[in-house]
Amino acid sequence: MTRRALFFALTLTACVPPRAPAKLAPRLEVASQERFGRVRSLIDELNTKRTEQVRIRCGQDSAAEEEVVDLPPTRQANGLDVLVVTSVKASGARIGTAPVLEAGDVMRMTTVAAPLAAHGKTVALVRAQDATPVVDVVHVIRALKGAGFAAVVLSTTSADAELTPEDWPDAGGKCEFPDGSETVGGAALVDVTTGDDGRPAVIRIVEAESGADAYAAAVCASRKRIDPEKNTYDKQAARMSLRKRLFFDTPRMKTPRDP
């Protein structure tokens, strides 16, 4: 290499701006037996600020339990194939259509969740009851991550939240995306399976116009109350299945890291 060429190469390298370091997830530290209802507003505030992730730490010193989890809306859930709704209550955790499990048994939950995570890009949506110890939520997040889900998202919607009526929006209707965001119109075809409690548990995307539409449609469907009189009810499995086409608002997946 000539002296002129070497000088040009060094100059070009020097002009390249350094890559900005990745932002660390903010840490939420709570007492070991703190209830989730006491921290929900803090997580909701982080979500409102478009924070992508939060690090939840329960307890102190070497005995502390800690996990990082995504917050909605998150780009990690874009283009999902399946959404598995996980409810965490004081009585235990329900992962999709599986029976209620003890939230402290991470190994058992991981074993049960693994088959649910093995269907394309599968995302777990975690909803916690106010009375649930935060440490139980951390255990469930750990189990879901260990099971191989593409993303684990902690919703600000309670596991006890009242579901909206089964008035599936048509072309003239809207399906509200939870947690509020700037939106654009979208559409998708989804298959919904409920658990034995009648709540949507597994949502599969059949067709979607975009990756963001797939995520928005799945979350929209997870908030619907399914009427057994209007849908196929499997008495033996104690669950319902239905296929619906949704028209809804899709959140623009924009976070502080985006231009």
Residue 118 inside a domain? The answer is yes
Query: What's the average model confidence in pLDDT over 27-54?
Result: 88
CA 179 – CA 155 distance, rounded (Å): 8
Radius of gyration of the chain (CA): 21
CA 119 – CA 115 distance, rounded (Å): 8
Tally of domains in the chain:
1
Residue 52 inside a domain? The answer is yes
* pLDDT value, residue 23: 65
Residue 21 inside a domain? The answer is no
Nearest to 202 by CA among 166, 173, 243: 243
Give Cβ neighbours of residue 145 (< 8 Å, ≥ 6 apart): 67, 152
* pLDDT value, residue 99: 87
Q: How confident is the model at residue 255 (pLDDT cuts 50, 70, 90)?
A: very low
- Write phi, then psi, for 234 (nearest 5 degrees): -90, 100
Residue 68 inside a domain? The answer is yes
Nearest to 96 by CA among 83, 105, 108: 83
User: Which has the higher per-residue pLDDT, 192 or 185?
Assistant: 192
Residue 15 inside a domain? The answer is no
CA 83 – CA 142 distance, rounded (Å): 17
Residue 12 inside a domain? The answer is no
Give Cβ neighbours of residue 148 (< 8 Å, ≥ 6 apart): 114, 117, 118
CA 90 – CA 93 distance, rounded (Å): 8
pLDDT at 194 > cutoff 60: yes
Q: What is the pLDDT of residues 116-173, one digit of tens each?
A: 999 899 999 999 999 999 999 999 999 999 999 999 999 988 998 877 665 554 433 4
* Contact in structure between 59 and 65 (CB atoms under 8 Å): yes
Strand partners, 122: 82
Q: Residue 158 sits in which domain range?
A: 27-232+239-251
pTM recorded for the entire structure: 0.78
Residue 43 inside a domain? The answer is yes
Q: What is the pLDDT of residues 56-89, one digit of tens each?
A: 999 887 788 999 999 986 788 888 999 999 999 9
Residue 256 inside a domain? The answer is no
* pLDDT value, residue 173: 41
Question: Maximum distance among all alpha carbons in the chain?
Answer: 82
